[in-house]
Amino acid sequence: MRRSAGARRRGPAVAVWVIAAVALGLLVLPLLGILLSAPWPQLPALLVAPETVQALGLSVLTGVISTALCLVLGIPLAVVLARSVSWPVVPRRLLRAAVTIPLVLPPVVGGLALLLLLGRNGVLGRYLALLGVTVPFTTGAVVIAQTFVAMPFLVFAVEGALRGADRRVELAAASLGASPWQVFRTVTVPLVAPGIAAGAVLCFARALGEFGATITFAGSYPGVTRTLPIASYLASQTDLDQSIALALVLLVVSVAVLLGLRDRWLPGVRG
């Protein structure tokens, strides 16, 4: 007891600082590598190259749509997840596991799973094909792949906010005669707005970086399905400068998005 009290007064041990520095280096130094090896003189030309502009445009468009989809679908899911604490163990854990799956599944596997579900011979896809709808190799497929991988970021951010929110406000609204939908729309959602914003930003950043599920499910065709990460990977095989330029664009957009987040919006930080 005495030692832990002392530790609290002194702050983390030196070893903790050292290991934390190593961890931070592992996260940050590779990015420094991109900055140091970037072809700065040629960069302006590479950045306005048609392939770059096209891939960036596609990435931003699909990222925005995916984020919107995550918001529409994810907020209700987060509400259900937050309320599931009162459920029996088995369904509660199953629900949580289902929401977590895209976080732990290799995206390529997710893409293959989507192909087997929505491909024209897929479990659902074959019926869509009868209606004349084909999903793979379309921009829509990119959006679905991104929504799949990004959804958990939104759900967990919103769920965290909901758990921290004061439920009595909702109960008060209900007691004043608001319908459950009115409570959700006019009380619950505004109450957790910072959590929603944080989730949306993380969701967008994840969607922007999506690679594995996209290439497997949507393929790679310029202007239709070839997003910035895919264009960057493809370029890395033949033209490293072009690849680094594309990577740099991704990096700048992602960092800008994350810096735009205020501290209190990040999951796990309250203040």
Partner 1 sequence: MARPAVGRRLVALAATGCVLALAACSAPRAAAPNPTGAADRVHGVVTVLAAASLTEVFGGLAARFEKLHPDVTITESFGGSSALAAQVVQGAPADLLATADQATMKTVTDAGLADGAPIVFATNTLTLVVPPSNPARVTTIADLAKPGVKVALCDPTVPCGSAALRLLAAEKLTVTPVTLEMDVKAVLTKVELDEVDAGLVYLTDAQAAGDKVKRLAVPGAADVVNRYPVAVLAGSTNKTAARAFERFILSTTGLGALTAAGFGAP
Q: Does 52 bind partner 1 (CB under 8 A)?
A: no
* Structural contact between residues 182 and 173, judged by C-beta atoms closer than 8 angstroms: yes
Q: Minimum CB separation from partner 1 for residue 63, in Å? A: 20
Q: How many residues bind partner 1 (CB under 8 A)?
A: 22
Which of 148, 30, 50, 171 is closest to 100 using CA atoms? 148
DSSP classification of residue 35:
H
Which of 260, 45, 48, 76 is closest to 180 using CA atoms? 76
Cβ proximity to partner 1: between 205 and 234 the closer is 234
CA 57 to chain centroid, in Å, comes to: 18
Q: Give the residue, chosen from 119, 152, 160, 212, that forms a contact with partner 1 under the rule CB under 8 A.
A: 119
Q: Which two tokens stand for residue 220?
A: 């790679």
CA distance 59 to 230: 10
Q: Give the residue, chosen from 58, 203, 215, 249, that forms a contact with partner 1 under the rule CB under 8 A.
A: 215
* Structural contact between residues 119 and 135, judged by C-beta atoms closer than 8 angstroms: yes
CA distance 84 to 16: 36
Q: Does 4 bind partner 1 (CB under 8 A)?
A: no
Q: Minimum CB separation from partner 1 for residue 254, in Å? A: 23
Q: Minimum CB separation from partner 1 for residue 268, in Å? A: 24
CA distance 197 to 186: 16
* Structural contact between residues 137 and 219, judged by C-beta atoms closer than 8 angstroms: yes
- State the amino acid at position 2 in one-letter form: R
Q: Does 225 bind partner 1 (CB under 8 A)?
A: yes
Q: Minimum CB separation from partner 1 for residue 240, in Å? A: 7
Cβ proximity to partner 1: between 125 and 152 the closer is 125
Q: Does 136 bind partner 1 (CB under 8 A)?
A: yes
Q: Does 234 bind partner 1 (CB under 8 A)?
A: yes
Q: Where are the beta strands (DSSP E) in the chain?
A: none
Residues between 247 and 266 with contacts to partner 1, criterion CB under 8 A: none
Cβ proximity to partner 1: between 85 and 131 the closer is 131
Q: Does 110 bind partner 1 (CB under 8 A)?
A: no
Q: Does 84 bind partner 1 (CB under 8 A)?
A: no
Q: Give the residue, chosen from 139, 182, 236, 254, that forms a contact with partner 1 under the rule CB under 8 A.
A: 236
Q: How far is CA 120 from CA 30, 55, 133, 144, in A?
A: 40, 26, 9, 15
Cβ proximity to partner 1: between 175 and 238 the closer is 238
Rule CB under 8 A: which residues touch partner 1? 115, 119-121, 134, 136-137, 215, 218-222, 224-226, 233-234, 236-238, 240
